[in-house]
Amino acid sequence: MHTVVVGTAGVTAADVVAVARRGARIELSEEAVAALAAARGIVDALAAKPDPVYGVSTGFGALASRHISPELRAQLQRNIVRSHAAGMGPRVEREVVRALMFLRLKTVCSGHTGVRPEVAQTMADVLNAGITPVVHEYGSLGCSGDLAPLSHCALTLLGEGDAEGPDGVVRPAGELLAEHGIAPVELREKEGLALLNGTDGMLGMLVMALDDLDNLYKAADVTAALTMEALLGTDKVLAPELHAIRPHPGQAASAANMAAVLTGSGLTGHHQDDAPRVQDAYSVRCAPQVAGAGRDTMTHARLVAERELAAAVDNPVVLPDGRVESNGNFHGAPVAYVLDFLAIAAADLGSITERRTDRLLDKNRSHGLPPFLADDAGVDSGLMIAQYTQAALVSEMKRLAVPASADSIPSSAMQEDHVSMGWSAARKLRTAVDNLARIVAVELYAATRGIELREGLEAAPASRAVIAAVRQAGVEGPGPDRFLAPDLAAADAFVRSGALVTAVETVTGPLA
């Protein structure tokens, strides 16, 4: 099994995906253990002094003015975990919780939190054992970090609350720790606070969304190219010299992908002989511009994610010169903004994709294809309601594109009076990404059927490879009406798994 070694300098997006989605094991580097011990020494020295230090010998948030005596500090740290584990609603996905815990461990290992090495090792042990704390949908405002979600994770380290075992069964966390030989931690000064104060949930969901969107943007380039073929459109608009004079990198990449798919096509360009059609509709002609803008948005989001993956987010933080300073680095605005940006871009990609599908089904705009791509229109409805489903998904994506990050709400007796709502932005982006995969799948279903209905004209080699692969995956071709839901589900799985992109790349080589 792949092993991820956590040091002091942060982790990569690939590390997050490996731990969250593939169950990679975690080890702490010697450097990280040394940094943990050094920072802990600073905290212990401050804890022994009579002067109050926020997070070490005081209360939290609006209660930060109270000095806590030494005999109450362990109780203080335990209490903050218990009281902050106040989430409600349905459970969030296992991969999100694993990313959340792993990224908190990443910050703990930076040597800026003051957490003891044994606490960090317990976090790694819980992840390696496949124990997943029960975390709920609601409870984070994305400022002071993802407080409630992280608190539920910390509660598991204490042997309290509920968690899911490697068998998928939810049980008391104490029982699961005991079965795996993991001793519950007993928190000391600052440790409870350090386990809760981070942007880890929203960051983990950002990293996984980018992983999914990388596949989906390539898939959308492929289905746009297939639709261009099915509509007998022109691929001249994909010429690199046209995109060079408007030098957006994402646009050029999308155009190059479409051009690669269409190489050798016998269907493109026939509208030159169709006098009323001088040029293709925007949804076809401007496909690289729209998908390309989304790709460039992803590039910016990756930059933000990389910076956050290298960051140590806590409050207060332990500095190398021995100071323990309060700060605002836990504010989720940088991550929240790009989560919202991605939801907007995904909604627009879904919208243009649906417009191409609708064009394929409309006999007045499909340039010779049968109404709704039906076998016997009137007797058969063809893909009429598949487009309804796609339209419903697009409509929801437009609602999900409303930014969460513009909706601050004050908390903690007005001490925390401006929050990022980054967790909420991440949760709605996950839904948007799921919807986008389904929308692309419907276009794939329609476009492949449209190509197969163009008798006497041969599709591009890459298109033929897609059609062969998707038919082998259980998505049926043209014919009389049948139960459509299984076909659409199979198309969705084909897109989501990366099989669509793989089928094309067997012919074209790697797509951009």
| pLDDT tens digit at each of 512 positions of the chain | 799 999 999 999 999 999 999 999 999 999 999 999 999 999 998 888 887 777 777 766 666 677 778 888 888 899 999 999 999 999 999 999 999 999 999 999 999 999 999 999 999 999 999 999 999 999 999 988 899 999 999 999 999 999 999 999 999 999 999 999 999 999 999 999 999 999 999 999 999 999 999 999 999 999 999 999 999 999 999 999 999 999 999 999 999 999 999 999 999 987 655 555 778 999 999 999 999 999 999 999 999 999 999 999 998 899 989 898 889 899 999 999 999 999 999 999 999 999 999 999 999 999 999 999 999 999 999 999 999 999 999 999 999 999 999 999 988 888 888 999 999 999 999 999 999 999 999 999 999 999 999 999 999 999 999 999 999 999 999 999 999 999 999 999 999 999 999 999 999 999 99
Per-residue tokens: 8: 């002091």
Q: What is the DSSP string of 416-458?
A: B-----HHHHHHHHHHHHHHHHHHHHHHHHHHHHHHHTSTT-P
Q: What is the three-class DSSP state of 259?
A: helix
Contact (CB, 8 A) for 30 and 330 = no
Whether residue 445 lies in the annotated active site: no
Residue 218: its pLDDT value, please?
Answer: 98
User: How does strand 170-172 pair with strand 162-164?
Assistant: antiparallel
Contact (CB, 8 A) for 437 and 211: no
Q: How many CB atoms lie within 10 A of CB 358?
A: 17
Closest CA to 20 of 96, 80, 90, 71: 96
* Strand spans (E) along 116-267: 132-133, 136-138, 162-164, 170-172
Closest CA to 33 of 103, 116, 105: 116
DSSP 47-114: HTSSS--TTTSB--GGGTT-B--GGGHHHHHHHHHHHH---EEEEPPHHHHHHHHHHHHHHHTTT-S-
Both tokens of 67, joined, read 């000095």
Amino acid 49: pLDDT: 83
Rounded CA separation 373/359 (Å): 11
**Plot region of 432 (φ>0 → left; ψ -120 to 50 → alpha; else → beta):** alpha
Residue 179 to residue 190: CA distance in whole angstroms = 28
Separation of alpha carbons 269 and 287, rounded Å: 17
- Neighbouring CB atoms inside 10 A of 138's CB total 15
Q: Which residues contact 131 (CB under 8 A, 6 or more apart)?
A: 156, 163, 164, 165, 166, 173, 176, 177, 180, 182
d(CA 494, CA 500): 6
Reading the block at residue 253, the tokens are 């990449």
Q: At CB < 8 A and 24+ separation, what contacts does 68-74 make?
A: 73/47, 73/188, 73/189, 74/186, 74/187, 74/188
State the DSSP H helix or E strand holding residue 281, giving kind and residue range, or none if neither.
none
d(CA 495, CA 220): 9
Within 13 Å and on the Cβ side, how many CA atoms surround 210? 26
Which token pair is 491? 């198309």
Burial code (b: 16+ CB inside 10 Å, e: under 16) for 9-31 equals ebbebebbbbbbeebbebebeee
Cis peptide before 371 (omega within 30 of 0): no
Q: Which amino acid is at 360?
A: L
The catalytically annotated residue of 54, 138, 217, 445 is 54
User: 3-class DSSP state for residue 205?
Assistant: helix
CA distance 118 to 474: 51
| b/e burial code for range 176-193 (CB count within 10 A of at least 16 → b) | bbeeeebeebebbbbbbb
